[in-house]
Amino acid sequence: MLGNDDPAYAELMRLFMLLHMDHENANVSAHTAHLVGSALSDIYLSCSAGLNGLSGPLHGLANQECCNWLLGLYHQYKGVPTTSQIREYVEKTLSEGRVIPGYGHAVLRCIDPRFTAQMNFAKKNLPDDDLFRTAMNVFEVVPDILKATGKVSNPWPNVDAITGTLQQHYGIKETDFYTVLFGTSRIMGFTAHVVWARALGKPIERPKALTTRHLEAMISESSFR
């Protein structure tokens, strides 16, 4: 349906679907789908709710933002940038109060294994691709810059830092479509959660709320520890 019959692209999408399916149930999209499904809502509505969460720039939308940032870097220097050019571009991005897309993760404190899996695929199938080489050069430079700021707890790349690079190589140039591919994969995770939740008879989710008095008591107790 994507118009690409290259067997290597088929293998990439097998990898992509597996890696993006669902890595745990605490992320925005998976948890939203689980929450809505816990009300015994139609599974279509559960998936729709999850995809609404996935569309946010801090979640599934990040893959296209990462690729657009890389493309901006590549086009500014009219080719694969040098270390000094990457450093200049990164420092400009940070000086403007922006983050380096694809670097850092809310949970992981190491290189995202999903990044590594796609990187290894690219090294085998498209080692000379200019955008991939750009991504690898960025990988060599960015973590040290972020460490030096003293403000970043995880300077390592996550899966989004490379996803779009591989899609670009195989002709999927519309970055807006990357989140659609992500969503197609994540739906497999959503539905698995909903099916198991109903098979096991899990109750409706009912998050507890904390009043100001509860919060003040918690702070007061922790101050004496």
pTM of the model: 0.84
* Domains observed in the chain: 7-205 (1.10.230.10)
Structure tokens at 29: 């999209």
* Torsion sign, CA atoms 141, 72, 80, 162: positive
Query: Any idea what DSSP says for residue 105?
Result: -
Residue 38: which of 185, 196, 155, 150 has the closest Cα? 196
Task: Calculate the average pLDDT of the chain.
Answer: 91
So which residues are the catalytic ones?
A: 59, 105, 160
How many CB atoms sit inside 10 A of residue 115's CB?
A: 23
For position 27, what pLDDT does the model report? 86
- Residues 185 and 51: beta-carbon distance below 8 Å: no
109-143: pLDDT as tens digits:
899 999 999 999 999 999 999 999 999 999 999 99
Per the listing, tokens 């959660």 go with 193
pLDDT score of 224: 53
- CA-CA distance, 168 to 156, in Å (whole number)? 22
Residue 222 predicted with pLDDT over 80: no
Tokens of 66: 């990462």
CA atoms of 155 and 213, how far apart (whole Å): 37
Give the model's pLDDT for residue 140: 96
CB 177 within 8 A of CB 13: no
**Does the pLDDT value for residue 84 go beyond 60?**
yes
Question: What tens digit of pLDDT does each residue of 37-72 get?
Answer: 999 999 999 999 999 998 888 887 888 999 999 999
